[in-house]
């Protein structure tokens, strides 16, 4: 008996099941999803990109070929027999590439060319580089063009990284907790290493290589000396072996007091010959296990960490001692400038500059000083760090946080591209107009060849790697900007959204706009107009602007906002701490003129009129409220994207946005309830009072907040 209705229903059900299965995604694949393109979109790529031909044999070249086959196969299906081949290799690995005599000089050690060429009288696409890592980067670039549906007829791409050291800093502890980590536990399974290598290590390496990230610091800057003992060196070597074919070097954070803790010495004084011998021997031992070891990252004399000042020595003495140990092996030392001490009466924002500017010119050539984007600590907004541009003889690398310690952890959607861009584009005016932080970072301002950019990783064991789907975008944008600090954050957001979700313009327009506004929304509902460090004690979750009783004044919010009956804000002009004088005069003038920094640099009367024509108090209420409104708008935007996103990821983002909206409201209400006790002014008409009395917010406790 024919039952066409039932048959149709079954066919429809089957189609639904397969479609759902095909589209069920949890974010594990990141931006390397390689989902099938609709036939019409695939057609020009299928016609242009045929079989992948790897010329030469090496693990890295094989990986590049496999990735291209996987990516093109997934996106376009099996290669068409008559489509021009894609040929990969270096002039050294491939006589055919050598015969093309491509202009590879400018590609340097890690760059590449992608060209439409003629090989053996037939059209072909060639991905060529001087090094195998360059070929791998080129392969990922070609995939990106396909994934983002860029034109590929007559390809002529030439790329080289503008920054040499492009590293993730993992604040991962040996027990697998992650300081300021909101994505589960550390990926590194130290206990099972070196014998068991989790397959995730390879996917981690693939993701990084796809962005051009070429280094990873495995352990927390608040380091344990154990990381430098023989068993842990062997474990790190196993990771280094896995990452090597992906062009990724391993680095370690070094605890300055290791000579005492694991070397049996009585001192860690950097000028003591036995201490120097310890570090030399330790470096030799590491290089025997990891011949391409990148070097050390050091947090010294900061937040209780040991350092050279414990022995009356300078940061340069400490850094140079380690530089001497790794130098013969080609290693570097990344010495952090994140130093401040509450024993000093000086404004915390001034201390790193005061410490490091006098040392300019005293660091060994293989030392680079690592400087956070701002002078306090990864706040939602900070003016650029005054050290940028102030040490012409010392290379500085930029450190940004990818993890969102102060921006709502994993559940707040905040795309950090605009924040990185704001710092990189900032003009230090140290060598006239255009002396941007990007030019300090890429070395062009003062002619440095050792250059770098570091991102504090947001990666953990969560299936989605970063704690949320949109936090993957922050890993992505860090990598892309470390490769080229002049890229636009909007373009990168578009790229990421295309690869991670959809190429549909009905998705891209609203979602890229949402991403671009998202960090500003956080600034508005947490710390508008230059306020900073109002977060809960130690865990930094939620608002606690009232905290005034910690062991150190410079960890309390009241130290930073200084609200009183007269007004609010930290006077860093001449009448106050004069931190502004650490900037070049033109830069100082620009920073002071920008209302975004108002309360960073000035204590302002509650009734002073701001640019909107409102009083400062009213403006604060408006900004806090608007931050919440923006998140509500983000929720609506995302809800409308359901047709374009698989159900699982859509639901996760929607749920997190709901949390963000509640927490934005909490931030607004708690801060306004507290600041109103000083301003003693009513909220402007039409603005709702806080939902609870101040005591309610003050009583909240979060002893198990993540990331501590």
How many DSSP H helices and E strands does the chain contain? 22, 15
CB closer to ligand GCV, 176 vs 644: 176
Window 369 to 428, contacts with ligand GCV (CB under 6 A): 377, 405
The token pair that represents 638 in the structure block: 């995302």
Longest Cα separation, the chain = 95
| Minimal distance, residue 223 CB to ligand GCV, in Å | 10
Residue 405 a catalytic site member: yes
Q: Which of 317, 377, 421, 524 is catalytic?
A: 377
3 state DSSP class of 169: strand
Strand partners, 178: 172
Which residue in 66, 272, 303, 310 is the catalytic one? 303
Among 276, 299, 519, 635, binds ligand GCV (CB under 6 A): 299
| Cβ closest to ligand GCV, residue 444 vs residue 537 | 537
User: Structure tokens of 673?
Assistant: 């309830």
Site string for ligand GCV, 442-461 (x = CB under 6 A): --------------------
The 10 Å CB-count burial string (b at 16+, else e) for 549-573 is eeeeebbbbbbbbbbeeebbbbbbb
Number of neighbouring beta carbons within 10 Å of residue 123: 13
Provide the 10 A C-beta neighbour count for residue 134: 28
H or E stretch covering 145: helix 132-147
For the chain, report the end-to-end CA distance as a whole number of angstroms: 68
Query: Rounded to whole angstroms, how far apart are CA atoms 168 and 662?
Result: 32
Q: Which is nearer to ligand GCV, 409 or 496 (CB)?
A: 409
Smallest gap from Cβ 383 to ligand GCV, in A, equals: 18
The reply on whether position 222 binds ligand GCV by CB under 6 A is yes
CB of 339 to ligand GCV, least distance (A): 9
Structural contact between residues 165 and 149, judged by C-beta atoms closer than 8 angstroms: no
Q: How far is the CB of 384 from ligand GCV (least distance, A)?
A: 17
- SS3 helix, strand, coil % of the chain, rounded to 5? 45, 10, 45
Q: Does the active-site annotation cover 346?
A: no
Yes or no: say if 400 and 452 are a contact pair by the CB < 8 Å rule: no
Which residues in the 628-657 window bind ligand GCV by CB under 6 A? none
Is 41 assigned a catalytic role? no
Binding mask 55-94 toward ligand GCV (x if CB under 6 A, else -) reads ----------------------------------------
For residues 179 and 285, which CB has a smaller minimum distance to ligand GCV in the complex? 179
For ligand GCV, give the closer residue by CB, 244 or 372. Answer: 372
Closest CA to 297 of 394, 227, 370, 235: 370
Q: For ligand GCV, which is the closer residue by CB, 416 or 587?
A: 416
* CA distance linking residue 88 with residue 61, whole number of Å: 8
If the CB atoms of residues 256 and 338 are measured against ligand GCV, the closer one turns out to be 338
Task: Please check whether residue 127 is in contact with residue 112, taking contact to mean a CB–CB distance below 8 angstroms.
Answer: yes
* Contact with ligand GCV (CB under 6 A) among 193, 221, 410, 508: 221
- Out of 172, 269, 355, 405, the active site residue is 405
Q: How far is the CB of 596 from ligand GCV (least distance, A)?
A: 22
Residues 170-189 that bind ligand GCV (CB under 6 A): 171, 179-180
Closest contact distance (angstroms) between CB of 458 and ligand GCV is 14
> Which among 178, 179, 180 has a CA at the least distance from the CA of 190?
178
Phi, psi of 617 (to 5 degrees): -60, -50
User: Which own/partner pairs from 107-111 qualify as long-range (CB within 8 Å, at least 24 positions apart)?
Assistant: 107/134, 107/158, 107/159, 107/160, 108/160, 108/161, 109/133, 109/134, 110/134, 110/137, 110/160, 110/161, 110/212, 110/214, 110/247, 111/137, 111/158, 111/159, 111/160, 111/161
Total of residues contacting ligand GCV (CB under 6 A): 10
Pick out residues in 304-363 that bind ligand GCV (CB under 6 A).
338
* Residue among 206 and 412 whose Cβ is closer to ligand GCV: 412
Query: Shortest Cβ distance from residue 377 to ligand GCV (Å)?
Result: 5
In the complex, least distance from residue 253 CB atom to ligand GCV, rounded to whole angstroms? 9
Site residues (CB under 6 A) for ligand GCV? Answer: 171, 179-180, 221-222, 299, 303, 338, 377, 405
Active site residues: 303, 377, 405
């Amino acid at each position: 008996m024919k039952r066409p209705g039932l048959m149709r229903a079954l066919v429809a059900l089957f189609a639904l099941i397969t479609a759902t299965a095909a589209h069920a995604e949890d974010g594990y694949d990141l931006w390397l999803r390689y989902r099938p393109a609709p036939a019409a979109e695939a057609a020009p790529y299928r016609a242009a990109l045929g079989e992948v031909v790897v010329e030469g044999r090496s693990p890295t070249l094989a990986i590049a070929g496999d990735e291209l086959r996987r990516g093109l196969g997934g996106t376009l299906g099996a290669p068409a027999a008559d489509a021009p081949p894609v040929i990969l290799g270096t002039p050294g690995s491939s006589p055919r590439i050598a015969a093309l005599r491509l202009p590879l000089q400018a590609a340097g050690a890690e760059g590449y060319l992608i060209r439409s060429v003629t090989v053996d009288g037939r059209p072909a696409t060639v991905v060529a580089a001087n090094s195998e890592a360059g070929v791998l980067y080129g392969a990922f670039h070609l995939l990106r063009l396909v994934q983002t549906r860029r034109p590929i007829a007559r390809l002529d791409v030439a790329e080289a990284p503008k920054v040499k050291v492009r590293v993730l800093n993992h604040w991962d502890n040996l027990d697998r907790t992650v300081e300021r980590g909101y994505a589960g536990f550390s990926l590194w399974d130290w206990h099972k290493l070196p014998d068991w290598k989790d397959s995730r290590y390879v996917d981690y390496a693939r993701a990084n290589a796809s962005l051009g990230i070429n280094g990873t610091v495995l352990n927390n800057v608040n380091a344990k000396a154990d990381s430098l003992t023989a068993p842990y060196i062997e474990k790190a070597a196993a990771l280094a072996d896995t990452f090597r074919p992906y062009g990724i070097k391993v680095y370690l954070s070094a605890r300055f007091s290791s000579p005492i803790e694991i070397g049996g010495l009585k001192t860690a004084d950097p000028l003591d010959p036995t201490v120097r011998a310890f570090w030399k021997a330790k470096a030799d031992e590491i290089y025997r296990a990891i011949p391409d070891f990148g070097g050390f990252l050091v947090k010294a004399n900061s937040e209780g960490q040991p350092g050279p000042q414990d022995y009356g020595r300078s940061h340069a003495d400490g850094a140079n001692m380690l530089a001497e140990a790794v130098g013969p092996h080609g290693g570097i030392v990344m010495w952090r400038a994140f130093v401040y001490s509450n024993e000093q009466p000086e404004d915390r924002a001034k201390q790193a500059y005061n410490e490091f500017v006098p040392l300019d010119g005293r660091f060994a050539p293989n030392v680079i000083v690592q400087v956070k984007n701002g002078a306090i600590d990864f706040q939602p907004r900070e003016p650029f760090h005054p050290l940028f541009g102030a040490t012409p003889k010392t290379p500085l690398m930029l450190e940004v946080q990818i993890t969102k310690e102060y921006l709502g952890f994993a559940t707040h959607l905040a795309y950090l591209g605009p924040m990185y861009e704001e710092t990189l584009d900032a003009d230090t005016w140290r060598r006239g107009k255009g002396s941007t932080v990007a030019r300090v970072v890429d070395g062009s301002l003062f002619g440095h060849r050792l250059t770098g950019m570091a991102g504090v990783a947001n990666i953990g064991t969560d299936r989605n790697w970063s704690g949320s789907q949109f936090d993957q975008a922050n890993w992505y944008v860090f990598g892309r900007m470390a490769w080229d600090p002049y890229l636009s954050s909007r373009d990168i957001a578009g790229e990421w959204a295309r690869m991670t979700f959809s190429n549909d313009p009905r998705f891209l327009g609203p979602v890229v706009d949402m991403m671009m506004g998202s960090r500003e929304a956080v600034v508005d509902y947490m710390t508008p107009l230059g306020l900073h460090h109002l977060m809960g004690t130690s865990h930094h979750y939620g608002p606690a602007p009232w905290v005034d009783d910690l062991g150190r004044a410079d960890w309390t919010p009241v130290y930073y906002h200084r609200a009183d009956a007269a007004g609010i804000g930290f006077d860093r002009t001449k009448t106050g701490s004069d931190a502004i004088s650490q900037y070049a005069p033109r830069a100082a003038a620009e920073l002071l003129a920008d209302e975004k920094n108002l309360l960073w640099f000035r204590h302002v009367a509650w009734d002073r009129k701001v640019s909107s024509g409102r009083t400062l108090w009213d403006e604060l209420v408006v900004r806090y409220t608007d931050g919440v409104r923006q998140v509500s708008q983000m929720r609506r935007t995302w809800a409308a994207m359901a047709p374009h996103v698989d159900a699982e990821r859509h639901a996760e983002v929607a749920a997190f946005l709901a949390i963000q909206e509640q927490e934005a409201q909490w931030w607004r209400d708690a801060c306004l309830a507290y600041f109103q006790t000083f301003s003693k002014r009513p909220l402007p008409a039409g603005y709702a009072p806080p939902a609870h009395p101040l005591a309610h917010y003050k009583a909240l406790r979060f002893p198990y907040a993540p990331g501590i």
